[in-house]
Structure 1
C-alpha cells in the first residue's frame, strides 16, 4: 500500500481498470473497492456516499487543473489515468496553492475536500 506525500488520514487502496464505454466509475459488486472505470478518468464521488452505486459526482479526463465548487467533507477521489499519470489535490484554484501528494493510477483516496479547490491531472 502506498501513501501520498501529504494529507492527514489518507486511505489509499488498489483498484483495477479495463476499457469501457461508460462515462462513470464503477466498483466490483460486493467488494467495496473500485474496479472498472473508463481508462483515463479521475472520478470524485459525492460527500459521505462511499461509491454511491457507481455514480461519481465529477469525472475528469483531460490533463491539467480542474476547479471544484461546493465540494466539502469526505469524498472518494479515484485515479484511473493511464501511462503513469497521477492526480493531485490542490488548495488553490487552477492547480495552485498546496498541491498534496500524488494519487497513483489505480488508487483512490478518502479525502476531506473542504480546503481543496482544484484537482490536477499530471502527465507522467
Structure 2
C-alpha cells in the first residue's frame, strides 16, 4: 500500500511540473469537462465528475434551481478567483467557499445560489 501511495504522489508531482510555465504559474486546462475559467456543477450523484450540467462564467451571483442531493462543484477559475455556495438566492448566507482549482461534493438541496468572486 505504501508503494502505491508513493507512486501516486510521484505522478501528481510530475503532472504538476508539466502544467507550470517557466515563471512557475499553473496553466489552467479543462478539468473533468469544466472549461478553464469557469465554475461547473455536475448532475446529481455523478461521481466522479465527468460532464457538467451547468457552467458559469461571469462574476456575481447565479441562482440555482432544481438542484437536490449531492453534486460535484468544480472551481476551474484562474487567478485565484473563488466560488461560494449560498443559501440565499442572491449570493447571501454563503455556507461554503471553494478556492480556484478545487472542488467539493456537496448537497445542493439547501443551496439557492452560487457566486463567482474576483480575487
Q: Same fold (TM over 0.5)?
A: yes
Name the one with the larger helix percent: 2
Q: Summarize the alignment of residues 39-118 of structure 1 with structure 2, pairs less than 5 Å apart.
A: 39-51=36-48, 54-96=50-92, 98-118=93-113
Cα offset, 1:101, TM superposition: 3.1
Output the CA distance in 2 between the equivalents of 1:68 and 1:37: 18
Cα offset, 1:26, TM superposition: 3.9
List structure 1 segments (4+ residues) > 2 angstroms apart after TM superposition: 16-19
Is 1:122 the counterpart of 2:113? The answer is no
Output the CA distance in 2 between the equivalents of 1:43 and 1:37: 6
Output the CA distance in 2 between the equivalents of 1:47 and 1:101: 18
In structure 2, stretches of 5+ residues that fail to align are 1-18, 20-26
In structure 1, stretches of 5+ residues that fail to align are 1-15, 20-24, 28-35
Cα offset, 1:55, TM superposition: 1.1
- Two-structure CA RMSD over aligned residues (Å): 1.9
Number of residues paired by the alignment? 94
- TM-score normalised per structure 2: 0.71
> 1:93·1:117 contact (CA, 8 Å) conserved in 2?
yes
Q: Which has the higher contact order (CA 8 A, sep 6+)?
A: 1
Q: Which residue among 35, 40, 56 is the counterpart of 1:38?
A: 35
